[in-house]
Amino acid sequence: MTLPLQFLGYGVRCTDVPRGWATNTPVAVDEICSVSDCVNSRPEGWVERWDYNSACCYETEEAATRTAEGRPGFRLLAYALVMVRLNEKDDEIAVDLDAILPPGLPALPAEPVPDGLAVLGYDVVSKQGANYMDFECSPLSCCGLAGEVPVNRYCLLDDFGTALRVAQRWDREEPEPGPYYVVQVLRRP
């Protein structure tokens, strides 16, 4: 099955596991590659640049890398939004980009996910609509729920189907206010 993906673009984040961050995961988490800024942040001052698209990502790897301004510790990641969600009846419903991305910012990339990127996994992240600029919370890393849901070494889910079910569950349980979306996280090998 081909996943229905919308390429969001690139971003840089510090993926180091912060001192004191711990959760009961059976797999050692070596990096936190979350979509959210709660645990693994972007470079200070990135938002003031106002050179990102409506998903707070960059069209090119070079543009994303420039936000770190040569500071060490940041890794380049790429993001693709899974364009379906599950409702309470297990029906797949399409994601409406206009309902979740803020207006007035540059459009998302028109091309599909670029070749040569390796999938690290899937993050389940909240986004309360177009009034909020960025994706908000990834309970896997932000709320320590990686101890309840099997994650990989990047603190992400390996399986797309599992990620859809987790998003559906968190829509109901709200570890943080939702709704929840699935984002594929990638990077160069």
| Tens-digit pLDDT string for the chain (189 aa) | 578 999 999 999 999 998 888 777 778 899 999 999 889 889 998 888 889 999 999 999 999 999 998 888 899 999 999 999 999 999 999 999 999 999 999 999 999 999 999 999 999 999 988 888 889 999 999 988 998 899 999 999 999 999 999 999 999 999 999 999 999 999 999
Query: In this structure, what token pair is assigned to residue 10?
Result: 């690139």
Question: Angle 148-151-155 (CA atoms, 0-180°, nearest 5)?
Answer: 110
pTM of structure: 0.95
Q: How far apart are CA 181 and CA 166, in angstroms?
A: 10
Question: Angle 42-184-57 (CA atoms, 0-180°, nearest 5)?
Answer: 40
Written as one letter, the residue type at 181 is Y
- The residue written with tokens 């960059």 in the block is 58
Environment class of 16 (CB within 10 Å of its CB; exposed 0-12, middle 13-18, buried 19+): middle
Query: In this structure, what token pair is assigned to residue 119?
Result: 């999938």
Domain spans in the chain, listed from the N-terminal domain onward: 5-187
Evaluate whether 123 touches 35 at the Cβ level (below 8 Å): yes
- The residue written with tokens 């070494």 in the block is 153
Q: How far apart are CA 172 and CA 168, in angstroms?
A: 7
Evaluate whether 15 touches 75 at the Cβ level (below 8 Å): yes
